Amino acid sequence: MNVLMLAPEFLPIWGGVGTYIVEIARNMPRNVQIHILTPKRTSFNSQKLLSKPSNDEQSKMFPENVVIHYIGSANDTFYYNFKFQLNCFRCEPSIVNKYNIDVIHSQSAMPDLFLPLRKLNIPIITTIHSTIKDQIMAVKSSGTSFFQLEFSEKMTLILGPVLKFLEAWYYNGNRYYITVSKWMKDRIIQENKKLTPNRVKVIYNGVDTNAFHPSKRKYAKKYFPELADIDLPKVLYLSRFVELKGIRFLLKAIPQILEKTDVHFIFAGAGKNITLDISKENYTFLGYIPHEITPYVYSLSDIFVLPSLYENFPLSVLEAMSSGLAVIATNVGGIPEMITHNENGILIPPRSSKDIARSVVNLVEDDQLRKELGVNARKTVEKKFSWKIAALRTKEYYERVLENEGSAR
């Protein structure tokens, strides 16, 4: 079987979509030949990449059944996707013919938006990571001034009516879909009346439990010496610095937390810089860090906080759970499908700095609860969330779609 994966995000990994594509490709059974079509990323808006994976490093990351095709470049967090859509329209038909592609695996950023489906005459499967409609609703609900938004969020709001129209048209097309949570399947079917349940398959995201492991703490000082020597409980935020992730509510909670206990906050991720009116002894701003060293910053931390206003099935939460951290996350989207409150993590309502503060303080002061949640979180991901299982079920879905379409070659 020959599969063409469209990757608007890929290497270097900077978000959940990129992680998803990399891990599905790496863990796919070897009898599936995967061709990845992607732009070459050079920066994130004004933030240049300090290091970029070389061709040799990339070849070591993937088995022989994975081939990468670069078309165009990406140096921003919004316009690059439109350029990638045009490049897919221009290049994809020839790649489909040259490599005898059986299935196209797209993503919810709609890189296949302009492809002539009837002319290609092969099935397209799209993994739904998020929807533009939900992103817009969440950003508006943050209460943040337009001028304080990150560049991609500003553009999403400005072009919202057009993007929502295109998205509605896209999901009523003749495609098949994978959702990474049951919540998203229910939501996408409810909002798109022409979309039937038998065209949507739920396949949970996974996590590399060997890479994201509590034992990484032994080697973490090599990568983060400034953090390893801090003798305070460490609270980690590792995600994009955008309003969608609820970062503003975490920042508002920090003074409330420091009034009651002494902790150190770690901020890591791509996006705009943040400013905090607290002592520099109480926080470290790392900015974007390469994905391959994120296990070490997890392992140095004690508590992970993701105060998102909207999520589907966030990989950062799975990575934190796999690393044995006590996780505090908002009760939104598919997060309750991975976290059971007070059993393997803490669920809080969105947009509540008060609940963030109370939960952090409780975990700092209750060592037994914090450790118990971390142990249970690790057990949960070991039992339920594996990239090998996700890749195998994805391959089985390819086969089912080909059988339904009668287009297996």
Positive or negative, the CA dihedral 354, 359, 362, 365 is negative
- Tell me: the pLDDT tens digits for 93-107? 899 999 999 999 999
Of the ranges 26-40, 60-74, 395-409, the best mean pLDDT one: 26-40
pLDDT in the model for residue 47: 59
Same structural domain, 160 and 304: no
How sure is the predictor about 273, in pLDDT bands with cuts at 50, 70 and 90? confident
Is a pLDDT exceeding 90 seen at residue 409? no
* For residues 272-282, average pLDDT: 80
Same structural domain, 197 and 246: no
Q: Which residue has the higher pLDDT, 118 or 250?
A: 250
Same structural domain, 244 and 187: no
Helices 132-141 and 151-158: angle between axes, nearest 10 degrees:
110
What percent of the chain lies above the pLDDT cut of 90? 76
How sure is the predictor about 408, in pLDDT bands with cuts at 50, 70 and 90? very low
Question: What's the CATH number where 390 sits?
Answer: 3.40.50.2000
Q: What is the mean pLDDT of the chain?
A: 91
* For residues 142-169, average pLDDT: 91
* For residues 69-89, average pLDDT: 89
How sure is the predictor about 71, in pLDDT bands with cuts at 50, 70 and 90? very high
pTM reported for the whole predicted model: 0.91
pLDDT in the model for residue 59: 61
Residue 38's alpha-carbon distances to 7, 21, 91, 111, 376, in angstroms, are 5, 11, 11, 10, 37
pLDDT in the model for residue 58: 63
* For residues 35-42, average pLDDT: 91
How many other C-beta atoms lie within 10 A of the C-beta of residue 402? 17
Cα 363 from Cα 301, distance rounded (Å): 13
If one counts the domains in the chain, the total is: 2
Same structural domain, 180 and 236: no
Same structural domain, 197 and 234: no
Closest CA to 109 of 167, 58, 62: 167
How sure is the predictor about 260, in pLDDT bands with cuts at 50, 70 and 90? very high
Is a pLDDT exceeding 50 seen at residue 119? yes
DSSP state, residue 350: T
DSSP state, residue 344: T
Same structural domain, 192 and 223: no
- Tell me: the pLDDT tens digits for 328-354? 999 999 999 999 999 999 999 999 999
Range of the domain at 397: 2-206+386-405
Same structural domain, 337 and 239: yes
Cβ atoms of 317 and 306 within 8 Å: the answer is yes
pLDDT in the model for residue 54: 54
- Tell me: the pLDDT tens digits for 199-208? 999 999 999 9
* For residues 318-329, average pLDDT: 98
Same structural domain, 139 and 57: yes
Is a pLDDT exceeding 60 seen at residue 323? yes
How sure is the predictor about 28, in pLDDT bands with cuts at 50, 70 and 90? very high
Same structural domain, 64 and 178: yes
Cα 64 from Cα 90, distance rounded (Å): 26
Same structural domain, 267 and 193: no
Same structural domain, 233 and 136: no
Vertex 119: Cα angle to 114 and 122 (nearest 5) = 90
* For residues 64-91, average pLDDT: 90
Cα 183 from Cα 339, distance rounded (Å): 14
* For residues 34-63, average pLDDT: 72
What percent of the chain lies above the pLDDT cut of 70? 95
Same structural domain, 147 and 267: no
